Chain A
């Protein structure tokens, strides 16, 4: 069983809709929770991060962490075609680079 589970999609939504992404995990030692965005044939880039539990908002993006349920979410409001990418959740117990990644969810936003 993988430590981090993520539905690979694809997830297709119309422009302007809310995109909802989530991951579950099994390791209770995870403290750093991140969402990376990866465009086709590019490297991942950090989108949002949260330390421990709680919510974080940055523009159209909201990240939520529920450590009691071992569940993290990313919401994208007013989605745009430029948001079409693969979104990877990642987490770590002891730092920002030694990460456990989910499989990634491919998101397609159609005009």
Chain B
């Protein structure tokens, strides 16, 4: 029972490099989310997708883009990485809609930008 799977688990980038963080869920959820977690800041919402085909900005979207590839997959792209984007990134999913309940989180991607 995989739940929410994130790849890669660890990544080191040089400033200016690009990369895509992948997320897939196998719970047939409609809604998916990307958060970042920084020390002393808790988790902050970057982008979310309420349903397949839609995406919206969260609290801290600058420097990121997202793609809802299909119902299962939601990717986060850093076009030109900056040291300020060093963080732990979490993907989450929830059923969404009127029957929305608990959001389930993946294990995280630890990203360091040097």
Chain A contacts to B: CB under 8 angstroms: 4, 6, 8, 41-46, 49, 88, 90, 95-99, 101-104
Contacts and interface: CB of A to CB of B under 8 A. Distances in A.
B101 A44 contact: no
B106 interface: yes
A44 B43 contact: yes
Interface of B: 4, 31-33, 40-45, 48, 58, 90, 92-94, 96, 100-108
Given A43-B90, A97-B33, A98-B58, A88 B102 contact: no
Contacts of A102: 42
Chain A interface, >50% SS class: loop
A46 B102 contact: yes
B101 A43 contact: no
Nearest to B29: A97
Nearest to A32: B100
A88 B92 contact: no
16 contacts: A41-B108, A42-B107, A43-B105, A43-B107, A44-B105, A46-B102, A46-B103, A46-B104, A95-B94, A96-B94, A97-B31, A97-B48, A97-B96, A98-B45, A98-B48, A104-B42
Contacts of A41: 108
A10 B79 CA distance: 36
